[in-house]
Amino acid sequence: MPSPGNAKELIRRLPKAELHLHIEGSLEPDMVFALAARNGIDLPYASQQELMKRYDFKDLQSFLDLYYQATAVLLTEEDFFDLTWAYLKKCQADRVVHTEIFFDPQSHTSRGVPFAVVIGGIRRALHMAERELGVTSRLIMCFLRHLPAADAFATWKMAAPFLNQIDGVGLDSSERDFPPGLFREVFALARAAGLQTVAHAGEEGPPAYIREAIDLLQVARIDHGVRITEAPQLLAEVAERKIPLTVCPLSNVRLRVYDTMDTHPILALLDQGVRVMVNSDDPAYFGGYVNANYEALIDALAPTPEQLIALVKNSFLSSFLDEASKHSWLQAVDEEASRH
């Protein structure tokens, strides 16, 4: 069995894709305070340390309450550019060569920030990253499931002039009591417009939500999906159909989905043929970006090199890259692994 140090070195060297990243969840404490100062916003915490003391989350909702509060500092196109660029620099450091980013327009338009401002800043950073960092991307607009479906429709109409800048739609926020089926109609509009669809399901919600997301929303990927372990028949189907689960290990532990990392099922799912991969979710709040998530798995679960390589390959196989790009990156993973 390889040493943890060797396994971590392998992960640092391998090219990777990240498919489950909320750009607002990459808002680090220092940037919260910098943007608040730039925009003249008074924060309800006196220091970065006081803010970080609130990161002891009891569940998903306790995190979301703070998450939405912190987004209040994002007001201008430059703010959204700076936020996105900071994340993309983290991608470069972790050798994430492709990322598929979620953004939550309702969190901003509800505060009076125009949709054009939000997407303008994010897209400018994404374009610059492809030119200067060699990091490619896709952009996924998420609907907030705790808000009524009518609000999602209003957001869809607001997004209409910008659909050529959006690659997919997703569903996030509070999962309990908000099944995917509530958003069936707006997802149908997105599919008709040629967009990819994904949805959070089976994190705090039951496996039945995974079934709804697949059958009613016709998603290409399930975000989180870890509670599929409670539904063996559904697990077997997802494995057979190669429906990806975008798993976020540090997030799952920080939000008490699992008490400790050594009880996380990601490797068991992988070994049962489920197309799982490693993502960071909201890295500013949950303890780290992609490589930190891999390192936590290495420390707790001691994956083999073959398992680590499979997780990395799944990140490309599950992406919305074209087939030629996928093939190229899979070859690059094999070449880098062979030098390990």
One-letter amino acid for residue 184 of the chain: R
Separation in Å, CA 202 to CA 122, 141, 176, 209, 253 = 28, 20, 10, 6, 15
Phi, psi (degrees; rounded to nearest 5) at 172? -140, -165
Spatial contact of 181 and 214, defined as CB atoms under 8 Å apart: no
In what side-by-side order are the strands of the sheet with 16-22?
A: 16-22, 96-103, 136-144, 168-172, 196-201, 221-224, 245-247, 276-278
Q: Would you call 203 a catalytic residue per the annotation? A: yes
281 is in an annotated binding site: yes
Question: Encoding tokens for residue 69?
Answer: 């509060």
Catalytic one of 24, 77, 203, 204: 203
Question: Encoding tokens for residue 131?
Answer: 């030119």
Q: Which residues are annotated as a binding site?
A: 20, 22, 200, 281-282
Q: Which residues are catalytic?
A: 203
Return binding residues for substrate.
282
Annotated binding site for Zn(2+), which residues? 20, 22, 200, 281
